[in-house]
Structure 1
Amino acid sequence: MKSVDNQDISGISEVLADRYRAGVGGRIHWLTYHLHKGRVTEFGEALICALATCENRLPGLGKRLVDELIDTAYTPSAQDPVAWRAGFQQLLQKFAEIVVLRALLEASWPAGAQFRHEPANPTSGRRPELAVELEERVYLFEVKCPSLVDHQTARGANPRQIPARSALGDALRANPDSSEPVTWPRDNVLKDFLESAEDKFSGFSAKDTVGVLVVFWDAYMYEPISALNYPRSGLLTKHSFHQVNGVRVPFDAVDGVIIMNHLAVLHAGAQEQGNAHRPGYFRIDHVDGGLPNVWCQNIGGAQLDPFLMEAFDAIPVEDAGPVEYRPHEFIVWINLPD
């Protein structure tokens, strides 16, 4: 596919920015500050550029994404903090989708690739985020961005953490100690994501299908990696805790999971707190020496193509060196705030 320079999309960017402003009218909305006419922020410029790129590569997609951002409900936090948090989480989910859609539309696909945004699965009626059809196979992508606010609060306060299900975790649950509270794993969230992707991918096409679940997380990458790959209970291992009648649920339509450490980038950018560890808010930059995204392959799943690994700045999880990328059973935090 041809490259897109800034001049190609500058006109589209203006149209999309004006579409957002017209859609929210005079209301205070999530992005009115970032997209205020005449003083668009750095984050706002990055967002509109990503939307314009999507529109340029797949006509109609950028406009649809703008309309979805407009429809994302905003409630002032002072009036209803619960509704505000729910709306902000929904906004982060849309941001995550935009990051992935842009990366996929800009990836080095073979000639003739056909893109469909949220196509209906003929079997289940469920809609994956994107389908990319080649002559010999179909690639399906689903994007998930969990709500981590309460979990992050617990992680920052509790002296002990259980990232994966284990006998030790069972013992701590059976004998709780109120003086040393525990941060529990988010593995049920990953299970739900896998179930959703399985439902959207299974039976989608008579062609060979490659199903990829993309999950956004913060810098604590060992948490989703432990939930997926911990040898004694990980969802993508033969000893998965998710079983029916003693038999592992295999998620056969999901070839693997890409875990993105990009959530902090979006969160910080939206609140003008910097760009965390990657310079591009809505682009998956390849940062020399930076922490990569990872590919966790399912049992029996297809290998992810090298050009897609590059597009997501991902490496196989088993090749990741930092301790933050290894499955853990038990963590003791020290020097927590009083």
Structure 2
Amino acid sequence: MTDAFAKHAAHLLKDIQDGPIRTGWHWLNYNFTPGTPEFVSVAHPTAMALAAGDAVMPGFAAEQVKRLESLGGTDRDMGHYRQIMSWYCEMLVIGHLASYQWPAEVTFAMEPVVGESEKNPEILIRLDDVGALGVEVKAPDLGRHQLNRKTNDWQLVGRVPADLADLDGGVTFPRDNPVKDFLISADAKFAGFRAADPAFRSVLVIVWDDFVNEPLTALMAPGSGLFTPNSFFQNNGKPVEFPNVDAALLVRHQHQVIEGLAGRKLGDGRQHLLDYGLPGQFPPPALVTNPFGQALPEEFLDSLHAVPAEKLSTAAEYNPSEIVMWFDTTPN
């Protein structure tokens, strides 16, 4: 980290402190107040990620701070809180890629567009002698779903022909529709880039919580997975292929953002809520390749710390599943 970079991060932090996050109601007011524990674990990492983005995409920080500041003004608005969480999930990925030590000359574009399309992914990365990678980041709202996991006896992880009348107790239904919607959106955003450059590659990053078997099931379950011939999402009796999305990367981090914002200790060795982790560190980001897409170059896989989901199948949470029965293991 250079002195210039550190000074820019400090300047960004001061600008945030002088703005509406501190002067009006905002979920992050406490986090950006000097002297609070979260000032170190939230405010400083936020400023560093913004500075990293600015270093490769001038103007990035100003746009992102403006967006973050807009998520306030209404006391304890849960819609704003969910958008803040989504903002941090995007910043997790973009900040990591912006500060990554690339093996060759690299350029970044923020919210790029191509042709006459008004649809754009988060970023476009061009790596010399390798090509271009489009990156879209999504984080579903899991709030009610997380509550249902804790309170219902049964959870349908995939789409199975189960008779609910046979299940004694409450049932939590799959959260696969957001995954489908993310793929639809990403496929449309990447389409123009693929048309302009057949060598263009793309990845949809989905930031979930620790229950990564849920999006894995949505994508890979043999009987209904979105990346299988038996996809539950079909058009005229044929599975929708999403040919412009080469892979989905599943990152287990939503719970880390929630804990980090609340000032609680993070798990899995993460130092703060924007700590993407090191190569080989648990939990690995799981890569699910689209059989109707194109292979990602190793340079891009390395930058994302991506591990093919097939290589993680020895761990239970990295296997598609259909139904879970929850037991209360709380000691009496």
TM-score past 0.5 threshold: yes
Question: How far, CA to CA, are the matches of 1:52 and 1:231 in structure 2?
Answer: 43
Deviations 1:95-127 (A, max 9, x none): 111111112223344534321111124253111
Amino acid corresponding to residue 63 of structure 2 in structure 1: R
Out of 157, 181, 184, the position equivalent to 1:163 is 157
1:254 counterpart residue number: 245
Whole-Å separation in 2 of the counterparts to 1:105 and 1:310: 14
User: In the alignment, which residue of structure 2 is the partner of 1:80?
Assistant: none
Q: Which residue of 1 aligns with 2:31?
A: 34
Whole-Å Cα distance in 1 between the matches of residues 234 and 136 of structure 2?
23
Q: Name the aligned partner's letter for residue 136 of structure 2.
A: E
Q: How far does residue 293 in structure 1 lie from its aligned partner after superposition?
A: 1.3
Shift of 1:53: 1.7
**TM-score scaled by length of structure 2:** 0.90
Shift of 1:228: 0.5
Q: CA RMSD in A?
A: 2.1
CA distance in 2, matches of 1:57, 1:289: 26
Matches within 5 A, 1:1-338: 5=1, 7-24=3-20, 26-37=23-34, 40-77=39-76, 84-109=77-102, 111-134=104-127, 137-168=131-162, 171-172=163-164, 175=165, 179-205=168-194, 206-207=196-197, 208-277=199-268, 278-286=270-278, 290-320=282-312, 321-335=314-328
One-letter identity of the residue aligned with 1:68: R
Deviation at 1:191, TM superposition (A): 0.3
Summarize the Cα distance change of 1:272–1:287 in structure 2 as closer, same or farther, 3 Å threshold. farther
**TM-aligned CA deviation for residue 176 of structure 1:** 7.1
Distance 1:38 1:65 in 2: 24
Deviations 1:156-184 (A, max 9, x none): 1111111111222xx32xx376x511111
**1: CA distance, partners of 2:155 / 2:7:** 50
Q: What TM-score do you get using the length of structure 1 for normalisation?
A: 0.89
Segments of structure 1 that go 5 or more residues without pairing to the other structure are: 78-83
The answer on whether the counterparts of 1:143 and 1:214 sit within 8 Å (CA) in structure 2 is yes
- AA at the equivalent of 2:109: R
Q: Percent identity?
A: 30
After TM superposition, give the deviation of residue 189 of structure 1 in Å: 0.6
Asked if 2 retains the 8 angstrom alpha-carbon contact of 1:121 and 1:200, the reply is: no
1:282-331 Cα offsets, whole Å, 9 max, x none, are 13112766221100000132233333333333210011121011000111
